[in-house]
Chains A and B, each alone.
With several copies, the nearest count.
Chain A
């Protein structure tokens, strides 16, 4: 066992911290609270910070250097995300492009596609959104029904996608669509499509938080050019699975870092009110910290396994269930402990200004649903890990 960071990793983290001290003007929650901002200008804040990160070499961590990436290790990527969360830095508006579409192009795209798309992705000149999930398919990605009909050399797309992050601000979308209605896995193709064209309609989808970070997109005879197919026809499922697998290491330290920051802010609030002196409050906060440290330990273990290039074990389903369900408990308990003040919207006078607790509380309800619901993850554990029988 060795859980210590390598000297290189420590150096990387220390440089990053110094860079953040210098370059992050203020926490994103403060940006949110600045009355000068609206939804559009907040996206610009995020875009601008992404450009700064890119200029400093902190973007496309896993991409090869020839494409503007850093060729960084999984540990470095994990540290980057954790430190950004601790600093409450603006989140990238292009994370799905860089995390999923970029790797798809690097591994499966043509030279032309790479040259055309990768630089503008990193620089955030073009924002990408994801067209994987569908309203009818839920957690079953192979069940998608969006179809691509041949139109000369090209294709015409018909269907609907949901959970489209930052759709209204996106320029391009990468889409899984059926080029064969019969072949469940082999009939899916990976397309790149511009959003500003006839037949593509982006609709903001209001979430329970009242925001519309996610949207829906409707395709009605939208054009997908043959030159914008990634890989071959029918390879879309395989490519999607591969690039989703690349995500394995980078997020290992993120949840515990993010929740750790939230716990810190909770402790601040309870110290200010004096409630932290009560034994019952201490016990509840202590239990939250314990659970977050176990989450961190799980993350360290997964990261170690990625760093060693070990084959994936049960950890991705365990980690997903753990962080998503824990975040519900954390926000639920935090709000309860903060009393009436804890109920206030972050914009309300008298509210704590360091965490948008109401948003976090509501957002935590999505965590157990997207990217494979808790139910699906438990099925995976029971069947693949514990090898329990099917009827």
Chain B
């Protein structure tokens, strides 16, 4: 038994950190959020493709690096609240591979290389992100229906639309998507509601599509948990660092036991999330039968835990923690938004209960 990343994964993690520190530190995440109408840097996305990051979830033969690498990369991205559809595209690339066929293969290549943005369009329910019922249809070469909270949907070159008939690919029409921006707490996480009445192509039928999409959902749940872990890491580190510098009542505030115990609680939540996320990533990578269960455990735990850690990081800083200038809000917003998507805390908890048949170890 060992818990550490293997050599390749550790190298990927450190090179990802270097890349982000140089190309997209958290100050850059803020700039993108404020100034970039797409909500992400297209150049950097293309670079991620060139470096193989976007194909990370593909099968090994296709150049994938596995779920543990995926989680390690996303935790690094969480650390800088990295903006953009990286995770969504990585998941979609694998969906394209799983669908198979020429069209899918072509788009798989385009998405994995970073040339094209392809993401999933699944949910139709405004008040329940976990509702997998779909009304959208594919018929006579056309996709019709409405999808909501499509991540970076307005920016996508193609969408993989979950329809009654299966997974259909829709290319962006010349006139652009019939999209409505859905702006959330996390301004850098772009969502759109999209109304479809467009030409499309069925990539796989519903019987196969159900499994493909369930696999995709599980991977996205894992990825979101890893992002939240990264947010917690940074929130903890920068919060504690501040308490060592800032003085009040004649001493660094980090010397007060009240804040020390709070920080200890933040560490406990953060490290426990790390245990849960990488246990889940390992199970996913190895096709363990309980992968769905432990992935849901990780997400159900990461949600409330990341809210706690990121919220308390603001509290450790006091007044300046409430300013735009400091980074604490970036992590809180990402964590809070991710908690409701990619498998909400409630849905993840329900999934845990449903998959637990008396929990024999």
A adjacent to B, CB under 8 Å? yes
- Are the CB atoms of A382 and B260 closer together than 8 Å? yes
Smallest CB–CB gap between A255 and chain B, Å?
12
Cβ-closest chain B residue relative to A256 = B361
A 347-377 binary contact with B (CB < 8 Å = 1; else 0): 1111000000010011001101110011101
Task: Return the contact of A293 from the options B4, B260, B319, B352 (Cβ within 8 A).
Answer: B352
Say yes or no: A340-B340 contact (C-beta < 8 A), given A294-B272, A358-B185: yes
With A4-B286, A307-B2 as known contacts, state yes or no: A264 contacts B275, CB within 8 Å.
no
Which residues on the A side are within 8 Å of B272 (C-beta)?
Answer: 294-295, 297-298, 318, 322
22 contacts between A and B (CB under 8 A): A4-B286, A138-B318, A139-B318, A256-B361, A260-B361, A273-B128, A293-B276, A293-B293, A296-B361, A300-B1, A300-B3, A301-B3, A308-B2, A332-B336, A343-B337, A348-B183, A365-B321, A365-B332, A378-B258, A379-B257, A388-B244, A388-B254
Q: Confirm or deny: B339 has a beta carbon within 8 angstroms of a beta carbon on chain A.
A: yes
Answer yes or no: A312 CB below 8 A from chain B CBs: no
The residues of B with any CB-CB pair to A shorter than 8 Å are 1-6, 9, 68, 123, 125-129, 148-149, 180-185, 187, 193, 240, 243-244, 248-249, 251-252, 254-261, 263-265, 267-268, 271-276, 278-279, 281-283, 286, 293-294, 296-297, 300-301, 307, 311, 314-315, 318-325, 328-329, 332, 336-337, 339-341, 344-346, 348-350, 352-353, 356, 358-361
A286–B300 CA distance with the chains assembled, in angstroms = 9
Find B325's partner among A135, A206, A321 (CB 8 Å cutoff): A206
Set of chain B residues within 8 Å of A283, measured between Cβ atoms: 346, 349-350
- Chain A, residues 265-300, CB within 8 Å of chain B (1/0): the string is 001010001010000101101110111111111101
Question: Does any Cβ of B come within 8 Å of A33's Cβ?
Answer: no
B323 in contact with A206 (CB, 8 Å): yes
Whether A335 contacts B322 in the complex (CB less than 8 A), given A344-B182, A345-B184, A365-B311, comes out as no
Are B324's CB and A207's CB within 8 A? yes
Could you list which residues of chain A lie within 8 angstroms of chain B, going by C-beta atoms?
Answer: 1-6, 75, 82, 86, 133, 135, 138-140, 162-163, 205-208, 210, 253, 256-257, 260, 263-264, 267, 269, 273, 275, 280, 282-283, 285-287, 289-298, 300-301, 303-305, 307-308, 314-315, 318, 321-322, 328, 332, 335-336, 338-345, 347-350, 358, 361-362, 365-366, 368-370, 373-375, 377-379, 381-383, 385-391
Closest to B344 in A: A339
CB-nearest residue of chain B to A83: B361
CB-defined contacts of A264 to chain B, threshold 8 Å: 358-359
Please measure, in the bound complex, the distance between the C-alpha atom of A283 and the C-alpha atom of B332, giving whole angstroms: 24
Q: Is the CB of A339 within 8 A of B300?
A: no
- Specify the chain A residue showing the minimal Cβ separation from B321: A369
Known A294-B297, A378-B261: A207·B267 in contact at CB below 8 Å:
no
- B323–A350 contact, CB under 8 A? no
Contact A340 B3 (CB under 8 A): no
> How many inter-chain contacts with C-beta < 8 Å in the A-B complex?
281
How far does the Cβ of B71 sit from chain A's closest Cβ, in whole Å?
10
What residues on A are CB-neighbors of B125 within 8 Å?
Answer: 339-340
Contacting A361 at CB < 8 Å: which of B185, B248, B300? B185
Are A339 and B3 in contact, with the CB atoms below 8 A?
Answer: no
Q: Which residue of B lies closest to A86 (CB)?
A: B361
Q: Which of chain A's residues have a CB closer than 8 A to the CB of B329?
A: 208, 362
A267 and B358 in contact (CB under 8 A), knowing A286-B300, A322-B268?
yes
B267 engages A297 (CB within 8 Å): no
Across the interface, which residues of B come within 8 angstroms of A286, CB to CB? 300, 349-350, 352-353
B185 x A343 contact (CB < 8 A) = yes
Is B257 a contact of A273 with CB atoms below 8 Å? Answer: no
Given contacts A260-B359, A362-B329, contact A282 B258 (CB under 8 A): no
| A208 interface neighbour in B244, B248, B323, Cβ under 8 Å | B323
Given contacts A4-B286, A307-B1, A344 and B184 within 8 Å (CB-CB): yes
Q: What's the Cα separation between A314 and B266 when bound, in Å?
A: 13
Query: Which chain B residue has the least Cβ–Cβ distance from A257?
Result: B361
Asked if A290 meets B193 with Cβ closer than 8 Å, knowing A1-B4, A297-B276, A369-B321, the reply is: no
Cα separation A294 to B305 with both chains bound (whole Å):
12
A391→B255 contact, CB < 8 A:
yes
Chain A residue nearest to B184 (CB atoms) is A343
A287 touching B126 by the CB < 8 A rule?
Answer: no
- Which among B259, B320, B324, B361 has the greatest number of chain A C-beta atoms within 10 A? B361
In the bound complex, CA of A110 to CA of B353 (Å) = 54
Asked if B1 and A386 sit within 8 Å, CB to CB, the answer is no
Asked if B261 contacts A350 (CB within 8 A), the reply is: no
Cβ contacts under 8 Å, A340 to chain B: 123, 125-129, 148-149, 182, 340-341
